[in-house]
Structure 1
Amino acid sequence: MKAARYYAPGDIRIEDIPIPSLKDGQVKIRIAWNGICGSDIHAYLAGLPKFPTLTTPGPLSGETLPVTLGHEFSGIIVELGAGTDGRFAVGQNVCVEPIMACRREGSCWPCHEGFHNLCPLVNSIGIGGWGGGLSEIVSVDQNAVHILPEGISLEVGACLEPLAVAWHAVKRSGYKVGDTALILGAGPIGLFLLKVLRAIDPNSIIVVSEPAALRLEVASQHGATITANPLESDIPSIITKATNGKGIDHAFDAAGVQSGIDLSLRCVRPRGSVMLVALWEASPKIDLNLVLRREINVTGSICYDRVHGEVLEALKDGRISGIDSLITSRIALDDVVEQGIKALIQEKDKQVKILVHP
């Protein structure tokens, strides 16, 4: 089968590899769609997040480079391994929760508590090994597989993983009806944060800061109260006016740039919260005296913690809708670098979410 194989930053190759075997308790899935993630861009540019190396295998997968990319994927079940339970059947549409964790409940406190996203060895299918969605077929543990409810397309199913990232971040922030929010960055995660916030409160003030005109327009179409280009607008003044001088309740950094974290700290109200969602290539500088003087809560959100079912319910009952309209391109596997990763780097005024059909 064909697969996009990651060798090093700037080196992703489409190769023929063996179809994965099916182990007990696993489900074999023919991939329908795989979303290109910001993590894939970080991988292409800088070798982030945590990949195995040519000589040091991943501690959970035992694999060395190259590995198959892709962790935002949906597909159709084509085979069931021995020991799978009665939930699954050949022909079902599914998506995958790709977290890899040691799951040593006796010796790993986060895994013992069920916080698999905080395991010291945490990684993801499509980054740390075990195959990936940028291939034709993958075999995964049944506990990572979620059946897509009727009416949810395979394209939307491929967006479940980043939607779960946004859902988990909003849940951790404590955002509630009536709260105001600032989203830094209107890429896919920023827009999914907007969708989740609107699922909680259709009417609250949500400000989106983003330099790309297309993404600002999309944010406005999907419920942002105010959109502004931080290179052209005085966003702190805009927020001061919109909140009657109070400041924003919750800021969500989905940009991962220094100017964004600076802006969030300036705009959030005293005792407000700043939620770090973006992956950083280099650690930012944070004005801790400002955090101290205003008692700002600064925290982070990594991946998700048992929220895929909640997101599926929100899609099923219509609290979240219109996800398919955020998909701006659908491409073939052979084009994943030129029309996928590079397009997202170079064409932010043309692209939001790109899906790959292996």
Structure 2
Amino acid sequence: MPAPDSTRAAVLHGPGDLRIESIPLRTLGADDVLVTVDAVGVCGSDMHYFSSGRNGQNVLRQPTVLGHEASGTVTATGSDVTLEAGTRVAVEPAVGCGTCATCRSGRYNLCPFGVCFGSPPTHGTFSERIVAASRAVHPLPDSIPLEVGALIEPLAVAVWAVQRAKVRFGDRVLVTGAGPIGILVMQVARAAGAAEVIVTDVNDARLERARALGASAVLNTAEKAPELSGIDRLLECSAHPAALWQGIRTLRPAGRATVVGQAAPSVDGLPLAHLQRWEIDLVTAFRYAHAFPTAIALAAEGRVDLAGVLTGRFPLDLAADALRAPVKDPSHLKVVVRPGDTTARSAAEARTP
């Protein structure tokens, strides 16, 4: 059967203006696959676009489908694709152009020419179907449910962050921010061999979830900075400059701080003299490169609990509610949109099988 030429999708026209519409699908190329989308995770970037029409320095300039954390089933393939229809996959949203010097070096996450699903003006995955390059889809083992497969993308973020942080066996690790990325970073750091992983936040519900999923200790920093020292690795996942500055002070000499949460364009207060005096490395992490296979393996082996961060599900017609949910209820961690599921639920029913 010929591939469809259109799909229903949630299209953002402006701040707070999300409409369910039929949009055209691009023609299936020789190296493309058609994916019927099962689930799409709601990311903080989606929420920023929805609330203000921008995320960092990128601005919504034309109607765009949001979403980039997707899983689904391959239902059609181009002539050069060896993957079979019916394969369950996680979708990698940004794979670079594949030909520039940066991509050829292996760091395709830094490609200056690449595009990313759901990053305006590129249409994303809050859609019943998408067309993707075959190299952007990763088969899922049977042990990973499709709905949970949508969380492979944020898990890949965590894998790359821990790799950039150079977490080693026996390390003491501090993770600032107990959102979905922070909790996944905590689990990956434990899987990488960290002896102790401490998580800080200002939300007790999120801290309790971090504890339940394996944090060695949790600290609420709403009233005072963490009284810690001798930390080997800091992974800052809250995007609050104060958390980074406070976390740096906990590091041992020659420790390493990694910025994971989306940074503001510029920030004041960098303790440069302190970094220099103690030769503390300050590095950043942006998306990931070649991290999906590791993320899938960690989830398949049960070394990371993805279902434990899933707190809500919504049908495509209620995608706007999904984008509002973590703001209305800060205890939410990861919310998913189920484009093909008209029975998707939310809130207290979210964890019901």
Aligned to 1:346: 328
Displacement, 1:357? Answer: 0.3
Aligned to 1:216: 207
Aligned counterpart for 1:74 among listed residues 71, 78, 84 = 71
Aligned to 1:148: 140
Gapped regions of structure 2 (runs ≥ 5): 1-6, 340-353
Note the alpha carbon deviations across 1:98-136, whole angstroms, 9 max, x for none.
11523333xxx3123121111123441121455321000
Aligned to 1:297: 281
Residue pair 1:42, 1:281 contacting (<8 A) in 2 also = no
Aligned to 1:26: 32
Distance 1:303 1:228 in 2: 27
Aligned counterpart for 1:333 among listed residues 313, 316, 323 = 316
The answer to whether the aligner puts 1:254 opposite 2:241 as a matched pair is no
Question: Matched residues, percent identical?
Answer: 32
Distance 2:26 2:104 in 1: 30
Distance 1:326 1:53 in 2: 29
Aligned to 1:101: 96
Q: What SS is found at the alignment partner of 1:331? A: strand
Residue pair 1:131, 1:139 contacting (<8 A) in 2 also = no
Distance 1:208 1:89 in 2: 42
Note the alpha carbon deviations across 1:284-319, whole angstroms, 9 max, x for none.
221212211221100100000111112212222332
Distance 2:174 2:301 in 1: 26
Q: How does 1:158-237 map to 2 (within 5 A)?
A: 158-201=150-193, 204-235=195-226, 237=227
How many residues in Structure 1 have an aligned counterpart in Structure 2? 331
Distance 2:242 2:60 in 1: 32
The answer to whether the aligner puts 1:38 opposite 2:44 as a matched pair is yes
Amino acid at match of 1:225: S
Residue pair 2:225, 2:246 contacting (<8 A) in 1 also = no
Q: What SS is found at the alignment partner of 1:124? A: coil
TM (norm. structure 1) is 0.87
TM (norm. structure 2) is 0.88
The answer to whether the aligner puts 1:11 opposite 2:17 as a matched pair is yes
Displacement, 1:157? Answer: 0.8
How much is the aligned-residue C-alpha RMSD, in angstroms? 1.8
Aligned counterpart for 2:55 among listed residues 48, 54, 75 = 48
Distance 2:209 2:40 in 1: 21
Aligned to 2:342: none
Q: What SS is found at the alignment partner of 1:90? A: coil
Q: What SS is found at the alignment partner of 1:206? A: strand
